[in-house]
Structure 1
Amino acid sequence: MQASPLDGIRVADFTQALSGPYCTMLLADLGADVVKVEMPGRGDDSRHWGPPFVDDTAAYFLSVNRNKRSIELDLRSPEGREHAADLVAGSDVLVENWRPGTAQRLGLDAATLTARHPLLVHCSISGFGADGPPRAGYDQIVQGMSGWMTLTGDQDGPPFKAGVPVGDISAGMFAAHGILAALLRRERTGRGGVVDVAMLDSLVSMLAYQATRYFATGVAPLREGNQHATIAPYGTFDTKDGSLNICVGNDLQFQRLCAALGIPEVGEEPRYATNRQRLDNREELRGRLNDVLTGLDSADVLRRMEVAGVPAGPIRTLDEVFADDEVQGRGLQLRVEHPTLGEVSMAGGPWRIDGQPVAIRLPPPVLGQHTDQVLAEVARHRSTDEEFLSSPHQAEVNDDTAAVERNAP
C-alpha cells in the first residue's frame, strides 16, 4: 500500500469537543500519528455529550476521533506535565484548543515550546484568537457574532443557526490547512511556526461574497430563505409531491428550463432576458414557474432538468443520503470494528488521493487505550529533541491496526 501523505508526522493532540478534534482527525486521516491526550477517568468532554450513545460512548465523540491513539495524562500533576513535555519533544505538531491563557499556565504555550523546539508547529484554536478575550467560544455564540445567523432562515422569520456546527468545523479545517502550510514551509526553511485560528475569524472569512456585497453597497445583507440574493431563478421550489432545488446560472440555462417545463415563451420574454431583469421580476417569475412545477412530480421534474442540462437536485434526509449509491460508492460511509462497541459507522473524509478514499487505521479510541504504548515510545526517545524529530514515528504505531478494516465501497 502506498504511504499516506502525512506518514511519519506525529501530532500531540491536546484538544477536546469539536473544532480541535476535527482538525486532528483530518491530519490523522491523511496519515499522521495523532496522540490524543485526555484527562484521566473522564477524557474528552464529548465522550459524554449525548444521547445518542453507543453503549456508554457518545456518538458525538465517535464522529471526530478515528485514527487516533488515546493516552491519559493529568496535566495538573508534575508527572503528567513531564510526560506531556516528552510527548511534545517527540512530536512535529502540537494542537490545543484551551481558553487563551491555559497553555501558558501549563508551560505548553507557543512561545515557550517553539523556543525550545524550533522545528515544532504549534497550533492554537480558540473562539476569538490567541490574543482575544479568554472566554469560551461555542459554535452558536460565534454563529451569532459573525453575522451568519442574520443570513440564515426565512426572509420574514427569526435568525437561525446553520444545521451543522459550521464555526467548529470551519475552524478545524482552517487549522489543518495552516498546519499543513507550516509543515511545508518547515521542509524549505528548517523551522516550525505558530498557527492561530479563531472560530470567529473562520466564519467571518467564509462570508465571502456576502461580505463583499456589504462593502460594495454599505447595506448589510439579510436573510433570503432558500432563494439566492443575486441569481434568479435559483432556490427551492415546490412540486406536486415535495420540494427540490433548481439553480439557473446563466441565460441559456433559463431558456432550457422554460422549454423543459413546456413554457418556452416565458424563456423568450424580454423582461426575463438577463439575470438582472430576472432578479427585478423575481417574485412574478417564481409564480409562473410554480404554476407548472406544482403540477409535476419531483422525479419528473428532475428527469426533465437532467435532459435539459439544468442544475437541479432533490432535498434528502440523512437516511436517504447514506442510502444513495453515489455516496456509498465514494466511500462516504465508513464502518469500523471498535474494540468494545462492535461495528460503528461515521461519515467519510472528503479526499481521494491517488484514487483512494480515507482509510480507517484505528477506530475512535477507548479512553487511555494507548497510554503505556505511547509513554514507552517517548521514553525510548527522550535523549535529544533531534532524535525525536528525526525518528520514524509511524513505524512504531498500530500493533492493533491490522484488525481494523475500512468499509469498501
Structure 2
Amino acid sequence: MDYAILDVETTGGKFNEESIIEIAVYRFNGEKITDTFISLINPERDIHFYVQKLTGITKKMVKTAPKFYELAKRLVEITDNAVLVGHNVTFDYRIIRSEFLRLGFDFQRPTLDTITLSRTIIPGMASYSLGKLCSSLGIPVSERHRAHGDAWATVKLFQLLLDKDTHKNIINSHINQIKHQSLNKKILTLLESLPQATGVFYLHDEKGKIIYIDQSSNISNKARQILTGKSQKSRNIQKKTEQISFELTGSKIIAGLKAFNEIKVNNPEYLPIRKTNFHSYGLFANPKQNKIYIASLNSKNKKNALLTFSSLEKAKEFLTSQEEKENYYCNLILELNFKKEKYILLTDQGRTLSEKSFMFFEEGTLTGYGFYTLHSQIKNVDRVKKIMTTSLVNEDILLQIRNKFFISDKLQKIILSL
C-alpha cells in the first residue's frame, strides 16, 4: 500500500474560496519515501494577514511561483494509486479538490486522518494537535505551519502509528472503509459543502424531510463520522440521506441549544448519541445544612451537579475560593442558578467577528437565545425578546453553561433593564 502524506497552506478567507499557497507531498510505501513534491503556489489572490503572520509566506514570495494548473499534473501523478494521509486530512482534501474542480477535473482519492488514527492507537493524549502531539511523542517538528515541515512531521507520526498498530487491524479497517467510501460519489459530494465550523447540521431524505439533527464544533467532521460509519444505524442513515443543510452558530452552547430544541420540534427518525461528561467530580448543594460539597460523579447524581471538574484538586480550589466569601452558600446558589439579577444575558462568540451570541435568563430560567451585532444596543429586555428564539433547555446544557461561565470564564454577563 502506498501513501501520499501531505500538507497544504492556504490564503485563508471565506469557506471554499481559499487557494493553496504551498503544498508538500511525500510518497511513502510503508518503509521509505519514494517520491517528494514541494512547491510554493501563486494563488492569484491576496493572502490573509493572519496567514502571512502564521506561515511567514508573503505575496512577494509567491509572486513568481507556479500557478496551480501548472502543477496539477504532477500532483495527480504523485498521488496516483495512493491513500492521501494528513493531520486533519479533511481540510487538505477539500482544498485540493476545490482547486481541481476549478480546472474542471474531479480529483478523488481515499484518505486517512492521523488525528483519528492517533486517538484510536494512542488514546489519552492531552492534545491531538500536530505540534503538541509530536512534542509529546518526541517527534521533532521543524518549520511549523509550513507545508514541508508539517508534512514531514506527519510522515514521522504516521510511521509511529504503523509501528504501534502491530496487527495492522486498525490501519486496514480504515483503508478498507475509506476505499469503499471513495466509490460513493453521493456521500462525497454531500460532505464537500460542509464547513469545519461550529453549528447544527440536518440530514434530509429524498422528500426533504429531516431524518437526523446533530451539532458539533466541526460540522464537516461530525457529519463525515455519521455518513461513513459502519454501525447499522449509520448505514441506514447513509442510505436515506439525499441532502445536507447546516446553520452556523459560532458558539458550541448555542449549537447544543438549537439542536436540542429542533429535535423536539422536528422529531427526526434518528437521534444522536448523547456524549458522556468526562469530568470526574461535581459540586453539589445540601440545603438542609446550607453547605456545598464535592463528590465523585456518577450516572445517578450527575443531573444534580452544580458544576463539574476534571480533577479533585480543581474542585477543591474552586470551593475554597467561594468559602472565603461572606454568606457564601446563599450567594453561590443564587449565582449558579442565575437568580441574582432578574434579567441577564450571557454572551458568547458569534458566527462572525462582528457578532455575539446570547442566552437570555429571566428570573433564573433560560427562555431564549439569539445573535446580535457588536454595534447594537442590547441592554433592553423588550429588544432582546424581539430578536431571540424561544428555547427549552435540559440539565446537560445548563451544566455546560455554568461550567463555561463560572469555571472557564468564557461567557460575559450583561444585566438588562426593562
TM-score, shorter chain, exceeding 0.5: no
Higher relative contact order, structure no. (Cα contacts within 8 Å, ≥ 6 residues apart): 1
TM-score computed with the length of structure 1 as normaliser: 0.26
Q: Give the structure with the higher percent strand.
A: 2
